[in-house]
Amino acid sequence: MDTNGHTGPARFRLLIVAAATVLVLSAVTLVLGRTAARAPALLEARSSPPAAYVAANAFVAATVTFVVDGDTIHVRLPDGGEEKVRLIGIDAPEWTNEREPFGAEAAAHVGKLLPAGKAVWLERDAEARDRYGRLLAYVWLAKPELGTDARTTMLNAVLLEDGYARLMTVPPNVGHLDLLRTLQAEALAAGRGLWGLPIE
């Protein structure tokens, strides 16, 4: 028996348990340390805009790969990178996690305008990404040139004019705000799309 009242084998068992505990804690600390070291790099990679999308008001060619709903799509950029894109200035009724009135119609309309493989042009505003890491863009259905009519060529504008979305302003991304505000007012006055739904 030792000075603490433990017998020899019991003391030996306690030492083994203590050593095993130290080893487990060391391994956990090592794993957590490596994860913490990688986290900032992963976050930075997700928050950095694509190289072609750095300059404000730049137009970048892209290819539609998937339509999520009335205001969110997936595209492939020229460098091969895949991006989730949130349309600037509008908010379509939900149709993914929630089922809001006219959400199915809005999603279907965007899907009709943007079949997989369609070429589009992305125009950015002041900010390249939103807080969820999505690329922010005005999505053009044809290459924007001098004299291009945004009412019929910019998807964000088309959806507002046809009543498939509402205006949603998030400063500082307000480059086309005057046009978008005008188109919503016209759709509302005409009762187009969601503005023609019965008031509950």
Is the omega angle on the peptide bond into residue 172 within 30 degrees of 0, that is, cis? yes
pTM, rounded to two decimals: 0.73
The domain defined by 53-196 folds into OB fold (Dihydrolipoamide Acetyltransferase, E2P) (2.40.50)
Q: What is the pLDDT of residue 50?
A: 77
Catalytically annotated residue among 83, 123, 124, 134? 134
Q: What is the pLDDT of residue 47?
A: 59
* Whether 140 contacts 162, CB under 8 Å: no
Q: What is the pLDDT of residue 198?
A: 78
Distances from the Cα of 137 to the Cα of 30, 105, 125, 189, 192, angstroms:
41, 22, 7, 27, 24
Annotated active-site residue 86? The verdict is yes
Domain positions in the chain are 1-47, 53-196
Summarize pLDDT for 12-50 with one digit per residue, the tens.
Answer: 555 554 555 545 445 434 444 444 444 333 334 455 777
Annotated active-site residue 99? The verdict is no
Residues of the chain falling short of pLDDT 50 = 2-4, 6, 17, 22, 24-25, 27-45
Annotated active-site residue 134? The verdict is yes
The 8 Å CB, 24+ separation contacts for 17-24 are none
For 48, how many CA atoms within 13 A lie in the half-sphere containing its CB?
10
3-class secondary structure for the chain?
A: CCCCCCCHHHHHHHHHHHHHHHHHHHHHHHHHHHHHHHHHHHHHHHHCCCHHHCCCCCEEEEEEEEECCCCEEEEECCCCCEEEEEECCEECCCCCCCCCCCHHHHHHHHHHHCCCCCEEEEECCCCCECCCCCEEEEEECCCCCCCCCHHHHEHHHHHHHCCCCEECCECCECCCHHHHHHHHHHHHHHCCHHHHCCCC
Catalytically annotated residue among 94, 100, 127, 186? 94
Taking the C-alpha atoms of residue 36 and residue 56, their distance in angstroms, rounded to an integer, is 33
Q: What is the pLDDT of residue 148?
A: 86
Catalytically annotated residue among 86, 124, 129, 166? 86
